[in-house]
Every structure is written in C-alpha cells, then in structure tokens.
A and B are shown apart, each in its own frame.
Chain A
Amino acid sequence: MELLDAATLAKLAGVKVRARAVMEGVLSGLHKSPHQGQSVEFSEHKEYAPGDELRHLDWKAFGKLDRYYVKRYEHETNLKATLVVDASGSMGYRSGALSKLEVATTLAGALAYLLVRQQDAAGLSVVTRNGFADVPPRAAPGHLHAVLGALEALQPAGGTDLYAAAEHLAERVRRGGLVLVFSDLFDDRDDALSRVLALRARRNDVAVFHVLDPAELEFPFDDPTLFLSMEDERRLEVNAREIRQSYLEEFEAFLARTRAACTEADVDYLLVRTDEPLDAVLLRFLGRREERA
C-alpha cells in the first residue's frame, strides 16, 4: 500500500479532494471492513403489545401462527458521529506543507466519507472565534457535501475555548454517539480537556486527534527569535537555543498529562503529526477501533 504523504496531499486543492484521496487510501488498506453489510439486523421476535409500531409486525409469522409478533432489530438507528474541529488561530500554524487545521479538516472529511459510506450519520461542530458552527448529523449521501463544504470554508482565527466547545457538545450530542475531536488542545484553561473527556461519561464514544506540528514537538529554533502568539497579542523575544531544553520538558509533560487523562477517561487518543501520512493515521485509528470492538 502506498501512503499519501503530507507533501502530496498538500498539492491536492480542497478538503473534498484530499479527504476522498485519504478515504480511498484507507479503503484499499482495509482487508476486511468491519463496517460492511447491513447495519440494521434482525435480532428476535416479541409479542405485539399496544403502542408497538405496526410496520414492524411480522405478517408471515401471523400467517403461520395466527398471533401478532413484532420484529426487533439490533440497531434501531444508524451511528451518529459528530466531528469536532478546532479552528482557533493556533491551528493555522504550519512549519511544513500542511497546517494543523488542514490536517484536521482532511482527517475529519475522510472520516465523514467513511461514515456516510456505511450509512452512518456524520455531523460537524466547528469551534471558531465567533462561537460554534454546527452541521447536524445525517446519513444521507447528499449531506456529505454539506459537511465537506463547511470544512472547506474553515479559516483559523481567534483563541481556543475547548471548555465552551465541550459544554456546547454536551447539549447537542445524544447519548451513545461518536464524538471525534480534532484539536491541538492548546487551551489556557486547565480543566478544558477534562470537560471534553467528560463527554465520554455520557456513554459517548470519544476519540481525540491531537494534531501537532513537528516544530511544536521538536522546537528546532536556534537564534534569538521573536515569538508571536497566533491567537492574541502575546510576544516574546528569547534566545531559542537557551530555552530549548526547558521547552521540550514542558511540552513533554503536557503530552504526558494529556495522554494520561485520555487513558483514564477511556478515550481513544491519537497524536497526529502534520508531516505524517494521514491515511496511515486513519488506518491506525480504525485498527485501534477494531481492537476495541
């Protein structure tokens, strides 16, 4: 299997194209998809009681047995997935071909393809400077265009407020849904991540795609540098080489804290470097889901 690297993906204009390319890469990498076939399967019969839907009456059973039975199914409805994309200013950072936001939208788009393809509902919730933009989850193929269109239109701006985003999602997402978060998790509030992870407590299946740039992970700066904040007016002139060690220690501690919090909350955590092949990221994610299933 040939994976699509970030540089190649960057040459593909638009989220739709990139997402489709990634999705196809993923499909070709799956030997046996756990999501193939009917998602709504017969489970058992139940004697009819007033209030049951008449459309589920098994007329064949009535013909044989002269009694009313209602068919019951394993999944009453399709899976409802909400793709949460952080579009704050910090997500616009890039040291290579793709920004963190581009990686996040590409991954979200590819997953939306996959979900809709297996007739699950995919919705979108975008965390922006001006609040939240939501596309409700639907399983219709035509709905995919709405999701991808919303992703394509995203521009990084403003500060990060994951806490508010989690509050917003808690109101919107029904129990038992799938919540996929795409963010760098750079939030000044210490309890923001725990509030996001709290969605898991509502029987939602939560996965966090921690999107980070290699420069953030390795801090490859040497000279005196004037660091500018991408979300506010903060700026700092510093000899980068002098603080490199301390920065790496601080950042490693942040990653360890995040990873530990996700593990503790039984939330799937994926560290996504913007320079790694995204179909590999998705395969890793899907493989892990298969293991969990």
Chain B
Amino acid sequence: MVFAQPWLLLGALAALIPLAVHLFDRRKPRPQPFAAIAFVLRSQRRTASRLKLKRIVLYTLRTLILLAIPLALARPELRRPGTAVAHAEGPAATALVVDRGLAMRFQDGESLFERARDEARSALASLGIDDPVTVVPCGPEVVPPAAPGLNRSEARDTLDRMRPAWAAPDLGHCLEVAARVLEESPVAGKRIVLISAFIAGTLRPETPPPLVRGAGDKRIRPDLVLRDVARGRRMLNNHFLAEVKAEPAPQSGARGVQIAFTVRNVSDAPAHEVQASLELGGRVLAKTFLELAAGATVQKTLVVRAETGGTVAGAVTLTTDGLAEDDRRDFVVQVPRELKILVVDGAPSPVRYRDEVFFLEAALGAPSSPLRPVVRDVEAGLRERFEAYDVVVLANVPAPPAEDVARLRAFVESGGGLLISAGDKVEPEAWNARMGELLPRPLRLVKSAGTGTGEAEGRLARLGDMRWDSQIFAPFSGKAREGLLGARFSRYMLVEGGTRADGSEVLAAYDDGAPAFVSARRGGGRVLLYTATLDRDWGDLAIRTSYLPLMQRAVAWLAGALDERERLEGRVGRTLVLHPDPQTAVRTVQSPSGVEVPVSIEADHSLRVGPLPEPGLYRPLDASGQLVVGSQFTAALDPADSDLTRLDEAQLQAYFGEEAVRGPAGTAERRVPLWTWLVVGAALAFFFEGLLLRKP
C-alpha cells in the first residue's frame, strides 16, 4: 500500500482523541439528593450492560471516523501484482485474449476458466477510459471479434457468455487473430493481454509472435501482457483415459465383452489407488484399482458379460482429479448375439461318429460358442419354420421338394443363411432342377481324387487356392492355416464354371482348381456351398483342428455376424461419418447433454454428424424422436489435449520476450485506490454514531 500524501498520516493521531477524552475529561457530576433513588438504581442496573456496549461501539466509531479521515486524505492505494495492464504512454487498443481451452476446466480450488475470466474482468477495469478494447475468446475455433471499442459492457458481455471448450486452443492463432483485429483500431498504441494457463501443447514455438501493422504500414510488435492463471505450478497433474477399446470376447461366453483401456498419468507425482469402474448397459459391472507412477501409462483389460446382445453403450470412469472431464470415456460395443442353426442331417447314423453331422454339431455347439445348433433329419428338418433360425445347414440332403425349396428361397432372400454340403445323397441333376436358383453354382458330378491310402494318397486333393482375405478365412494364419491346407479330400462335387457377375464367388478351391467353398448372395441372405462332406466320408477336414473355427466362421458369416462394424467413436470438435442401414431413417442426433447436433445426409446415404460438441454418448433419433436401435455412437476427447504440462518460464521468455513474462518495470501492478472506501467507511461510521446517539 502506498500513500500519495504520506505526511497527512500524522492526522491519524486524532484517533487518540476519544481515548484522551475518555481518560482526562472526568467532569464532576452534579450532586442531586433524590427521593426516588431506588428507581434510578433499578434503571441503571437494567440498562448497564446495554449502555456499556453502546459506549464501546460509540468509542470505536468515533475512533474509526477520526482515523479514516486523515488516512483518506493521505490518498492510499493498494498495489496488486499481475492485474494492471495499462502503460503510462497513453491510450492503446487492447485485445484481451482469454484461453478457454480444455485445460481451463481444470479445478484448482476454482476452475482455471473462472480465474481467467476474473483476470480478464480485472484487466478490463484497469484499462484507461480512452483504451479501446475487444475480447478474443481463444478456443479450438476462433471467431474474429469486433474491432476494439470503448464500450466496456460489450466486452463484459462477451466474457459473461464465454464457456470453456472441449479441446486445446492454438494460442499462436488466437494471438494472430487478436493482432489482425487490433489493426482495425486507429489508436497508435496496440496491446495484447493473453490470459491463459500456458499449456505446452497450446503454443507452437515455430510460429512467431504476432506483429501489428503500425504507422506507415510498418510491422510492429504490440505490447504483450501475459497473465498466468496457474501461476506457481510447474504442471497441472492429470490422469486420464487415453483410449478405450471394447470388442466382443467370444472366449468368455456368448455375450462376453472385452474392454481394454489405457490410462495415462501426466504428472510429477504418482497417483495411488485410482479406481476404474466399468459400466455396461447402465450397470457397473466391474471395478479395479490402478497404481499410476508419475508419467506412467497403464493398460488394463476387463472382461465382462453383457446382459443383452446387440449394440450396448458403456463407459469407463476413473477417480476424478483436477480435470474430471477426461476421467470418463463412453464407448459402444456390438455384443454378439446367439445364433440359431438348423442342421438338416441327410445321412443320420445310429453310430454317432458315422453320422453326417456328428462333427459339425460338435464344432458348432462347442462351449462358449454363441451358436446354438438344432439337428433334425430330412423329413423333420424341412418341416421346420426356417424363419426361426439364422442359418440352415443342408448336410448331404437329397434335393428338397419344390414347396420346401420355395420356403428356403424366401428364408434366404429375407436375410437367412444357407450352408449346403455335398455327399452321396446329393444328386446334381435333382438339385440343379429344384435348387438351381439358390445354389451358388450348378452342380456337375462327383469327382474321386483317390482312396486315401498307400500310393493313392499322393493323388488326394488338398485345398490350394484360398481367399485368405475373405471374412471366413481371414483369421487363419500360421499353424491354423497350415492345418487347413493339410486336409485331404478323396472325393468332391464338381460345379459348373461361373463368374462374379452371377453373384457367386469361389472362396477356396482344391489344388486342381475345382471349387471347394463357393459363396453367393441371394436377396438379403447368403448361401455357401461346400463341395465335400461335413463328415469324414470324402475327406479328413472334419478331424482337423481347423474344422471347428472354419465351421463357426462359415456359419457366422452366413448369419452376417462377421460383417465389418464401423468404429462408432468420433472425436470432439470433428464430424463423424456413419453408414447406417439404408432402411433406418436417422433424422437428428442428440448430444449427451440433449443438444441437437447438425446432421447431413450424403449422396451415398452416409450420415455426416457434427462437429461433435462434447464428449459422451450420442443418440441418433428417427422422425418420431425415437432412438434408432443400434446406431448410438460416442465422441471422445483428444488424449493429447489432456497432457497439461505447462510451458516453463524460459520457454515463455523465449517466445514472448522477458518483458512480457516478467512484466515491464512499474507497470505489472494494479493500483487500487482505497481512499474512496475510507471516505465511505467514515461516512457510514458517522451515520451509525448519529443513530446511536439519537437512540436513548
């Protein structure tokens, strides 16, 4: 605190007057004989404590009055560091650049954003009345503000309306915008006040500090005043979820889901017992505790079982720290649903292992498999309601009657899967005649490749030309692939030649080029023809280790369960392109906070959603406002923005210059005049003193 007229402080001695009067002015009271002294005594007893308090208050008020007046006359001012921005060299157009990036959401007692806003208001108040001013909210996107003006309320309104963003800003770009807008002011002086937490990722050292066009188009550097809202902290300790990956885990059961998440601790201190809880379908299903060393990255995988299949939303949440916004990450996962398979057994046998579908049933019905096979003989199988199943397997079945073929065709065209395997019961002519429309390619005849014993073994057929990139064979690699290729076939059904134009595709062929697996799309469904038997009659594939995954993959592919799922996660601030089923009619998308997000439908029926305004779960809605099932998606923060390491003083000085960082001598203080408050205080004390004196 400084005084403009310090010698007037001598007047403060007047505050001793009430004390002196109290001590020395002992006037002799007038003696008064009085008959009703009993009443005087009683009154005095009744009012003594109140009067004593009143006397003390009066004494205090009088002392304050006599103290405040000389103090006010001495013109005291409070000098507060870090808030004054005005220089003494006359008016200057000023741009208040206020960081509103993700880091400003950090809670340090209060949020850094609120602190920055207070700093901005304080800076605004300390400007001279002839300093034009504008406010530049500095977020991931920067809207050029209005030219600097003398209207303070406009600037205050901008500050009031400002909200923290969900991503890091580019301070260099914000300064550039501020410099451009300052050029619009005719005032010669130019000044930029940058209020920020100065996170390392927000400033690119390679971008030079902005210059402003001055008199004669000369580029000059504006006065730069930096206000650090995280003063005194080397870094803002923050742990956060860098990534969450959710995928089906069939090894853990039909609805098993595996969530792998990565947690980073960007801080100079370890974080102990950080709780991570996993929520799926609205319920917390698992919790775990993490020990995070300083600067460590930890990966954790949790496997849980979802209650329902289909598209399920979930979230991983960490114990919150200063920046709570990046301690939760939502995700959407496609939980595999159970598939019902109707297996029509064309060659049943009382001897289990001689049964046509013995190996197939064992492969499909393996524990933890989401497939549920139901085996029927031909007569019963063809009477079944195919619509109740996802896939129908015709294993060495004679050509079905025409009415069953019609039902099968309807089943496939409406999205069902059909697996046809060859065998002794399959007569090519009858099949071609009745099932020609469903078969990927017409059957021709059965070819014998050898006996499988002795010298003839060398003539046994093997799988040769494989489409390893197809969804069925894609997982086979290494030994699994070798196992598949090691299968031997003594007989197989030859098919007519064809092209992709007829919708058929050979996924695997024997080493002589004859197709082994031929696929085709029929309407909304798929058909797969396997030209050998599903048991050991025509080959030994059924006893190979690759048989089980091959059959499971084949059936899952037929049911459409292997279709590539698009990644249902976007990034905050960006747009997300979705490819929903054309039959679904997404009209709007609702953000986690209920705000409607812009949606545009592209020519290829894809949906362009965004920019996504906030992290969390987004809900696409149809025309009636109902959620379009299975279409939810999430938006996540950029993990890079959660690294709150701050620029150190040397880096700031290297970029902005020493004067901007330390503040020019004599100007880095804000002078707050106190004398007006003293006068107000004295007036109030005078008023209350009068009030007390009036009251008996």
Q: State the A residues within 8 Å of B (CB).
A: 89-93, 100, 184, 186, 188, 213, 215-216, 221, 223-230, 234, 236-238, 241-247, 249-251, 254
Contacts and interface: CB of A to CB of B under 8 A. Distances in A.
B7 interface: no
B39 A254 contact: yes
B689 to A, nearest CB: 15
B41 interface: yes
A238 B38 contact: no
Contact of A230 (B30, B35, B696): B35
B288 interface: no
B35 A90 contact: yes
Given A188-B38, A228-B37, A251-B39, A243 B44 contact: yes
B583 interface: no
A64 to B, nearest CB: 67
B402 to A, nearest CB: 118
Given A223-B29, A244-B696, A186 B47 contact: no
A226 B29 contact: yes
A224 B29 contact: yes
A29 to B, nearest CB: 30
B40 A238 contact: yes
A254 B47 CA distance: 18
Contact of B44 (A216, A238, A245, A254): A238
Nearest to A216: B36
Given A242-B47, A246-B43, A247-B43, A216 B32 contact: no
Contacts of B17: none
The 6 closest A-B pairs by CB, nearest first: A90-B35, A93-B35, A246-B43, A224-B29, A247-B43, A226-B29
A186 B46 contact: no
B34 interface: yes
Contacts of A245: 696
Nearest to A224: B29
B42 A229 contact: no
Nearest to B27: A224
B30 A246 contact: no
A109 to B, nearest CB: 22
B51 A242 contact: yes
Contacts of B40: 227, 236, 238, 243, 247
Given A236-B44, A242-B51, A100 B35 contact: yes
B666 interface: no
A93 B34 contact: yes
Contacts of B27: 224
B35 A234 contact: no
Contact of A243 (B29, B30, B36, B47): B47
Interface string B40-71: 11111011000100000000000000000000
B41 A234 contact: yes
A223 B30 contact: yes
A236 B35 contact: no
Contacts of A250: 39, 42-43, 46
B29 A237 contact: yes
A246 B34 contact: no
Interface residues of B, number: 21
B23 to A, nearest CB: 16
A93 B37 CA distance: 11
Nearest to A254: B39
Contacts of B38: 186, 188
Give the one of B31, B32, B696 with max A CB within 10 A.
B32
Contacts of B29: 223-226, 237
A241 B47 CA distance: 12
Nearest to B37: A229
Contacts of A246: 43-44, 46-47
A148 B46 CA distance: 44
Contact of B32 (A91, A100, A227, A244): A227
A221 B30 CA distance: 10
Nearest to A156: B35
A216 B42 contact: no
Interface string B1-35: 00000000000000000000000000101111111
A77 B40 CA distance: 48
A229 B36 CA distance: 8
Contact of B33 (A228, A241, A242, A247): A228
A234 to B, nearest CB: 6
B34 to A, nearest CB: 5
A247 B34 contact: no
Contacts of B47: 242-243, 246
Contacts of A89: 35
A266 B446 CA distance: 143
A233 to B, nearest CB: 11
A242 B30 contact: no
B32 A228 contact: yes
B696 A221 contact: no
Contacts of A243: 40, 43-44, 47, 51
B35 A228 contact: no
A211 B44 CA distance: 24
14 contacts: A90-B36, A215-B34, A224-B29, A225-B32, A226-B29, A227-B40, A230-B34, A230-B35, A234-B41, A238-B40, A242-B51, A243-B40, A251-B39, A254-B39
Contacts of A90: 35-36
Given A227-B37, A236-B40, A245-B696, 18 more contacts: A89-B35, A186-B35, A216-B35, A216-B36, A223-B30, A225-B31, A227-B40, A228-B37, A229-B33, A229-B34, A230-B33, A230-B34, A230-B37, A238-B44, A242-B47, A243-B51, A246-B43, A250-B43
Contacts of B41: 234, 236
Contacts of B46: 246, 250
Interface centre among A229, A230, A234 (most CB of B within 10 A): A229
A106 to B, nearest CB: 18
Contacts of B42: 250
Contacts of B51: 242-243
Nearest to A222: B30
A213 B35 CA distance: 9
A226 B32 contact: yes
A225 B30 contact: yes
A177 B40 CA distance: 37
A226 B35 contact: no
Q: Which one of B35, B38, B43 has the highest number of Cβ atoms from chain A below 10 Å of its Cβ?
A: B35
B36 A186 contact: yes
Max chain B Cβ within 10 angstroms of own Cβ: one of A90, A184, A242, A249: A242
Interface centre among B31, B40, B42 (most CB of A within 10 A): B40
Contacts of B32: 221, 225-228
Contacts of B33: 93, 227-230
A244 B40 CA distance: 9
Q: Residue among A245, A246, A249 with the most chain B CB within 10 A?
A: A246
Contacts of B35: 89-93, 100, 184, 186, 213, 216, 230
Contacts of A221: 32
